[in-house]
Structure 1
Amino acid sequence: MFRGSIPALVTPFRDEAFDEGVYRDFVEWQIAEGTHGLVSCGTTGEASTLSFEEHFAVVAACVDQAKGRVPVIAGCGSNDTRVAVANVKKAAEVGADAVLLVPPYYNRPNQEGIYRHFEAVAQASALPVLLYNVPARTVTDIQVETAGRIVKDFPNIVGIKDATGMLGRVTAHRAACGPDFIQISGNDDTALGFMAMGGAGCISVTANVAPRLCADFQNACLGGEWAEALRLQDLLYPLHMALFTDASPGPVKYALTRVRKDFPSALRLPMTSAGEASRRAVDAALAHAGLT
């Protein structure tokens, strides 16, 4: 169910408010371009700046526009276990197909605390749960042994978005969590290696801007067409890098204004627009990929 190119969708704002019309058009474009699934209200969607009501209005709009054509995964992470539980319950209520959760950030729990957090989430969730391990943001690492324990005890925890950058973990997770455990890369730049080691897809920033190329790349990987996958990797690599030349999602929102003229570039503080050097890098990468 969860495979291929899955953009972590940006959230468009206009005059400080969620622009639902632009978002629905954006979702429609993504599906038409071959995207395999959608993440609504993840990090790239500026979820940390959304109120609870806004957050699930965005998820509900994504679900309604997708109309079951591709799965919708709702970002539901929190450093407060009670809030995370409330989030997964609301995600089910608005019709999401799965939920994606980071381990608690800032609090820095030990591995037992991480296990107990996901125990509470799994017991509360009527939906499949994907772990999201991104130590660079959370300062908390779901260690392989902990992931194996979680998956063994809670069958509705079905996979992981791994943004550690440690490609060896694909094999380690397969050994600890079983061959059916869904492993999805959280890093565009290393997704080729991740897929070659047995990954199922990528929750992608670049796919916001280049959905067709990212879908083609994932289809090549899933089909074992590694020469074509390498060609597309080389085409997309400058864009993968350019989109992180300033604080995300500033560069990706700028890139979207270049490929979709109706897309607003506004961000919510503390995020700010991409700087001049970042914009130049994005412009060059878009040209390299043939997108402008």
Structure 2
Amino acid sequence: MTLLFEGVSAAVTTPFKNGEIDLESLKNHLQFLKDNDIQAFIINGTTGEGSTLTDVEKRQTIKTAVEVANKEIPVIAGTGSNDTQASIDNSLEAKKLGVDGVLMITPYYNKTTQEGAIAHFTAIAEALVDLPIILYDVPARTGMSLEADTVAQLAKIPNIVGLKDATGDLANLTRMQNLVDEDFAFYGGNDDTALPFYAAGGRGLISVVANVLPSEHQKLYELTQTDPKEAVKLNNLLFPFTDAIGAELNPISIKAVVSHIGFGEYELRLPLVGLEGQVITHLIDSYQSLKEGINHL
């Protein structure tokens, strides 16, 4: 299968208003991202609070993303769970709605062995037939991780086309790259290590910060390919804001800034609760300082 995307995608936030999804704000945010060089929409993932959305709401967010994308950029839906059959059912529903691929998290809570992970993802891939799958390895949230040999075995399945690597282990990235074909795509899952991830051969990023800085993060990726020294300069400029966002749990911090730039209320679903006072002020000040710095380049 061909590469789903290369460069920076946004792990899109889900706006709420009085407890309900604010579809108009979501549509406007997606259009902003598309107009500012984002390479793909990632819908209903961790940043999108997918674990708190109902099935009806997930269909609504996917339909909205597919509509805005208009087949011009890919839409990738988070459809994985710790239940293999539920993951299959969710993915088949997303496929009917027009997604271009799915993001499939490793099983959590019940977890599994490496053999179980292989069986889980193989069953899903066989059920989806021709729908591309990006595996999602985020041990800080799931309590398990995929070993390099496991990824190598799964990468042989034609419609498993990539891995979102949120482990922060760059040595393991190289280990995995040496075991798979070059057309298997590794995407970073951590904004703060984007630059070294690209330098190690990553094909892009599934970004939280790109929700508010899409063109800047796509430029960073492109500079790593053409002008590494300028890439370092831009990364250093972006880093204080990235660091501030990372100091709070995702998506609690990024949603405050998404709201600040005009895309919905600052509202989360329990068990997440919003930031207050000086913490929000610091985030907004950091964002504004960054934008001013970029404008003076």
- Please indicate the TM-score interval, normalised by the length of the shorter structure: over 0.9
**Residue 61 (structure 1) shift:** 0.9
Shift of 1:281: 3.2
**Partner Cα distance (2:229, 2:264) in 1:** 34
Quote the residue 2:24 is aligned against. Answer: 21
Structure-1 separation of matches of 2:292 and 2:53: 31
| Whole-Å separation in 2 of the counterparts to 1:55 and 1:291 | 36
Give the 5 Å matches for 1:8-87. 8-87=11-90
Q: Match for residue 138 of structure 1? A: 142
The one-letter code matched in structure 1 to 2:239 is Y
Measure, in 2, the Cα distance between the counterparts of 1:257 and 1:275: 14
Structure 1 unaligned blocks of 5 or more: none
Letter aligned with residue 287 of structure 1: Q
Show the counterpart of 1:209.
212
* Distance in 1 (alpha carbons) for counterparts of 2:195 and 2:26: 29
Taking the aligned partners of 1:167 and 1:276, their CA distance within structure 2 comes to 36
Instruction: Give the corresponding residue for 1:269.
Output: 270
* Partners of 1:242 and 1:278 within 8 A in 2: no
Give the structure 1 partner of residue 178 of structure 2. 175
Q: 2:258 aligns with which of 252, 256, 259?
A: 256
1:215 Cα deviation after fit: 1.5
Letter in 2 for 1:101: M
Equivalent residues of 1:98, 1:128 under 8 A apart: yes
Equivalent residue letter for 2:261: V
Q: CA deviation at 1:218?
A: 1.6
Could you tell me whether the CA contact under 8 Å between 2:164 and 2:186 is conserved in 1?
Answer: yes
Match of 2:133?
A: 129
Q: Which amino acid aligns with 2:197?
A: F
2:234 aligns to what SS in structure 1?
helix
Instruction: Note the 1:191-206 alignment, pairs <5 A.
Output: 191-206=194-209
Distance 1:61-1:291 versus aligned 2 partners, 3 A rule: farther
Cross-structure match for 1:149 = 153
Question: RMSD in angstroms over aligned alpha carbons?
Answer: 1.4
Of 224-233 and 36-45, deviating more is: 224-233
Which residue matches 1:245?
247
TM-score by length of 1: 0.95
Tell me what 1:114 maps to.
117
Shift of 1:15: 1.3
Moved more, 72-81 or 171-180: 171-180
CA drift of 1:244 comes to 2.5
Unaligned ranges ≥5, structure 2: none
Query: How many residues of Structure 1 are paired with residues of Structure 2 in the alignment?
Result: 289
Whether 2:95 is the aligned partner of 1:89: answer no
SS at match of 1:176: coil
Deviation (angstroms), 1:87: 1.1
